[in-house]
């Protein structure tokens, strides 16, 4: 869907010398606000789906809560790695949920969520950092849920919390 492509398009328009430049993406606060709005809209729309079944196989969701003081004390690379771990687990969970949900409304919303979360994952993986590329294989704190709406809640909390503060921290270093 066109809204799902916005992040990927933004990313592709800001590639420099084979690496993504986070500068333009994080310096415009309206972008992260747009992504938060989209996450809220997806959460609201999935909540309006009629008769969403519970997942037969519980979904592993990252625990995306954090303490602001602890978060501020971490390096940007550590924050990036933590968000990547959360996103990788979330993308895998959405893919698994898509295989279980046949109801049209729920399946459509999961597809859109998969596009958004995958785009953020790709974006953060390709930022150029001194520490080098991201290596999958981390294991974030997680919980099991059987409700599809929990997946959307987790995504919104991740975008609204860690990702927004991460972009804010990057903006302090990268923006004039």
CA angle 176, 164, 107 (to 5 degrees): 135
What pTM did the predictor assign?
A: 0.83
Instruction: Please give the domain boundaries of the chain with CATH numbers for all domains.
Output: 22-174 (1.20.1250.10)
Please give the chain's pLDDT, 176 residues, in tens.
444 455 555 555 544 444 445 566 778 888 888 889 999 999 999 999 988 889 998 999 999 998 989 999 999 888 988 999 999 999 999 999 999 998 899 999 999 999 999 988 888 887 655 555 545 567 778 999 999 999 999 999 999 999 999 988 888 877 86
Nearest to 46, CA basis, from 120, 116, 150: 150
């Amino acid at each position: 869907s066109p809204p799902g492509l916005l992040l990927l398009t933004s990313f592709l328009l800001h590639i420099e010398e084979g690496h993504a430049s986070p500068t333009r993406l994080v310096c415009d606060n309206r972008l992260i606000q747009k992504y938060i709005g989209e996450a809220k809209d997806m959460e609201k729309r999935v909540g309006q789906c009629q008769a969403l079944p519970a997942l037969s196989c519980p979904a592993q969701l990252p625990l995306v809560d954090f303490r602001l003081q602890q978060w501020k004390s971490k390096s940007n690379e550590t924050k990036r790695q933590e968000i990547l771990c959360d996103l990788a687990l979330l993308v895998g969970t959405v893919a698994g949920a898509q295989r279980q949900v046949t109801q049209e409304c729920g399946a459509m919303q999961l597809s859109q969520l998969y596009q958004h979360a995958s785009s953020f994952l790709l974006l953060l993986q390709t930022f150029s950092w001194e520490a080098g590329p991201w290596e999958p294989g981390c294991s974030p704190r997680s919980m099991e849920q059987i409700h599809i709406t929990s997946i959307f809640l987790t995504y919104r909390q991740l975008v609204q919390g860690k990702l927004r503060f991460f972009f804010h921290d990057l903006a302090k270093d990268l923006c004039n």
